[in-house]
Amino acid sequence: MMANTFKLFRGRRILMWFFAAPFAAVLLLWCYALGPFEAEWVEFGYYGQFNQVQRIIRSLPGLKIVDHWQHHDISIEDFGFQIEKAGGERRWVHFYEKSPQMRLHADRDIEQFIRLQMQSGDASSPPPRHMHNPR
């Protein structure tokens, strides 16, 4: 009798893990990649790189974010910021999918790219027409 009870309990436990493990994996993937984490402090998942770049720009003295755009899909594929220098001059800094700057992850590398764009970037390159500013 005791052996049958143990087999029954073991079978239910295996069945529970059979369903629970994939469910947990999908839930974690959703939270990481697709979750609605719009908080500016969240630098992973859907808004991760956008929030990281935004934080870096805000930390640079003499620069102010005036506008931004995002291309939403399964992840934010492209995004950009219009940044104003202390003297009032404005420039766009864009991060397009598969562009070299999109592969930058270290703060110092992103900061260097932004500083370079502020010196030599295109002042009048607005976001593509199909992009929008959801915030």
| pTM reported for the whole predicted model | 0.63
Q: Between these two residues, 62 and 25, which has the higher pLDDT value?
A: 62
Distance CA(75)–CA(1), nearest Å, equals 55
- Whether 121 has a pLDDT exceeding 90, the answer reads no
54 and 111 in a common domain: yes
Distance CA(31)–CA(52), nearest Å, equals 18
Is 135 among the domain residues?
A: no
Give mean pLDDT, residues 103-131.
79
Most confident of 45-54, 101-110, 126-135: 101-110
Pick the range with the lowest mean pLDDT from 68-82, 88-102, 105-119: 68-82
19 and 75 in a common domain: no
Give mean pLDDT, residues 107-126.
83
108 and 76 in a common domain: yes
List, in sequence order, the alpha helices (H) in 30-134.
48-59, 107-120
Give mean pLDDT, residues 34-46.
56
55 and 7 in a common domain: no
53: tokens are 């770049």
Is 11 among the domain residues?
A: yes
Domain count, the chain: 2
19 and 52 in a common domain: no
Query: In the structure, what pLDDT confidence band is assigned to residue 135 with cuts at 50, 70 and 90?
Result: very low
Is 130 among the domain residues?
A: no
Taken in order 120, 122, 124, 129, the sign of the CA dihedral is negative
116 and 52 in a common domain: yes
71 and 10 in a common domain: no
72 and 17 in a common domain: no
CA geometry: angle at 88 spanning 83 and 91, to 5°? 30
Q: Between these two residues, 133 and 113, which has the higher pLDDT value?
A: 113
Is 39 among the domain residues?
A: no
107 and 60 in a common domain: yes
54 and 23 in a common domain: no
Q: Label residues 13-37 b or e (16+ Cβ within 10 Å = b).
A: eeeeeeeeeeeeeeeeeeeeeebeb
Query: Quick one: what percent of the chain has pLDDT higher than 70?
Result: 56
* DSSP percent split of the chain into helix, strand, coil, nearest 5: 45, 20, 35
54 and 7 in a common domain: no
Query: In the structure, what pLDDT confidence band is assigned to residue 90 with cuts at 50, 70 and 90?
Result: very high
Range(s) of the domain holding residue 30:
1-34
